[in-house]
Amino acid sequence: MSHPSQSNTANSFGIFEYSIKEKRFNVSSEWLDIFGIEGVAGNLPLADVLEKIACEDLVKFKAFLSPDNSIHLSVPIRIINEGIPDRQVFFTQQLFHSKGKKRNTITGIVTEYPPSEKLGNKTNQLENTRNELKNTQEQLIQSEKMASLGALVAGIAHEINNPINFINSSSIGLANNLPYLKELIKLHQIKNEENYDLVVEEIKKKEEFISLIELLAFFEKAIGHINIGVDRTTKIVKGLKSFARSDESALSRVDIHQNIENTLIILQNQIKYKIKIERDFCELPKIECYAGLINQVLMNILSNAIQAIEEKGIITISTGKIDDNEIFVSINDTGNGMDKECMNRVFDPFFTTKEAGKGTGLGLSIAYKNIDKHNGKIFVESKVQEGSTFTIKLPINQR
């Protein structure tokens, strides 16, 4: 077996997810490089990992992987590999965590330090590791956001194409009939007492094809179609812009109903002909939030609801005020639903029930994190073959 060469720079890192029940790791290719294991990113039995860990660190490492571990969230571990120098790494958890739930998985990063580098100031090393963890988390969130947008591009292009066809066909009709209108106007302008009968006769001949009144009605209708096309295109672009907002550092007051409608506009190509949207909205005050994060939550939940409905179905969106400083948004679908095991893991990172290549497993984990950042809560209720309901509770004021 060949081994990757020892890195000369600090802080190489790889991502991992450990299944407590199955005792298996799901790891990135960088993680494998750090451990000196050949292969591609994917599943790895716990036994294979334990073989690489120094004997004196085995107890510490197993404690780190315990579902009850809430103290030792970052531990130094020595990795041994035949034929190359030992490596000092830090295991750090946890990228995401669903509060109040029994943990099924542990997620985080392993960070490598060159053998020549002493542990030194552990506080500084831990801080560096946490910063890397934060950067990795932000990259994953952005990647998931871009993946969601990428999957919608074709549908959005189709939706924009329809109103553009409205505008195009109407403008062609106007252009084709404009010369005829100019001729009629010119005949009316040159009409006088001397040529009255001759001009009127010429006007009558032209109006045998289409009268001036009919022509003006056509122009009015064409302009109306153009206005409809412009309005639809504007709504689509506005919805896309709203979803793509990146001002996550600034709190703002938003109308949650408008955010829902913008998201539905973006998803329209997936919804039409297949799903009926029912709204049960109550009058709500504007809420204080990071608009981009809330848009991402709505997009992820609604996308999952659409995908859960295989043929035709209904998605019901309800809103209401719980008390003076809390509102709720409920999204119910009549899709396939989930069993209890899936419900318990639905907010875990990398967990997905979709086919390989059709889901990152990060959408609902990110949704959970985004809601948690707003001091809110998110719940799921589901029954197999009956559908699922996701309920979001958000404070009206963040301060």
Query: Does the residue 366 lie in any domain?
Result: yes
Q: What is the pLDDT of residues 4-55, one digit of tens each?
A: 334 444 457 788 888 888 888 888 888 888 888 877 777 888 888 888 888 8
Handedness of CA 252, 256, 257, 261 (dihedral sign): positive
Do 279 and 353 reside in the same domain of the chain? yes
276 and 372 share a domain?
yes
Token pair, residue 336, equals 């396939």
Closest CA to 336 of 292, 263, 275, 385: 385
Q: How many CB atoms lie within 10 A of CB 122?
A: 11
- pLDDT, position 38: 78
Q: 373 lies in which domain range? A: 245-395
Residue 37 lies in a domain: yes
**69-78, 83-92, 127-136, 383-392 — which is least confidently predicted?**
127-136
Better-scored residue on pLDDT, 232 or 386: 386
Within a domain: residue 124?
A: no
Mapped onto helix, strand or coil, the DSSP state of residue 41 is coil
| Whether residue 162 sits in one domain with residue 201 | yes
How many CB atoms lie under 10 A from the CB of residue 255? 12
CA distances from 107 to 54, 253, 348, 350 (A): 22, 34, 9, 9
Q: 211 and 183, same structural domain?
A: yes
Specify whether 249 is located in the same domain as 378: yes
**What is the pLDDT confidence band of residue 395, given thresholds at 50, 70 and 90?**
very high
As beta bridge partners, residue 13 has 111
Higher pLDDT, 170 or 349: 170
Residue 10 to residue 115: CA distance in whole angstroms? 10
Q: Is 131 a domain residue?
A: no
254-311 pLDDT, tens digit per residue, is 999 998 998 888 888 888 788 999 999 999 999 999 888 898 899 889 988 998 898 8
Are the C-beta atoms of 12 and 30 separated by less than 8 Å?
yes
> Is residue 255 assigned to a domain?
yes
Task: Compute the radius of gyration of the chain from its Cα atoms.
Answer: 31
pLDDT-derived band at 203 (thresholds 50, 70, 90) equals confident
Check whether residue 79 and residue 220 sit in a common domain. Answer: no
Q: Identify the three-state secondary structure at position 247.
A: coil
pLDDT, one tens digit per residue, over 335-356 is: 988 888 888 888 876 666 665 4
Judge whether 183 lies within some domain: yes
Residue 97 is predicted with a pLDDT of 47
Instruction: Yes or no: say if 388 and 315 are a contact pair by the CB < 8 Å rule.
Output: no
State which amino acid sits at residue 193: E
Q: What is the CATH number of the domain that holds 40?
A: 3.30.450.20
Residue 119: the pLDDT is: 47
Of 193, 227, 261, the position where a domain reaches its end is 227
For residue 248, pLDDT over 70 is answered with no
Q: How confident is the model at residue 91 (pLDDT cuts 50, 70, 90)?
A: confident
> Do 270 and 372 belong to one domain?
yes
Q: Is residue 26 part of a domain?
A: yes
CATH number for position 307: 3.30.565.10
Judgement on whether residues 86 and 170 belong to the same structural domain of the protein:
no
Q: Are residues 59 and 187 in the same domain?
A: no
pTM tops 0.85: no
- Residues 40 and 159 occupy one common structural domain: no
Does 23 lie in the same domain as 111?
yes
- Residue 253 pairs in a beta bridge with 288
**Final residue of a structural domain among 119, 134, 151:** 119
Assess whether 292 and 388 both reside in one domain: yes
Q: In the Cβ-directed half-sphere of 179, how many Cα atoms lie within 13 Å?
A: 3
List Cα–Cα distances, 276 to 133, 146, 263, 301, in angstroms: 41, 27, 15, 16
> How many distinct structural domains can be found in the chain?
3
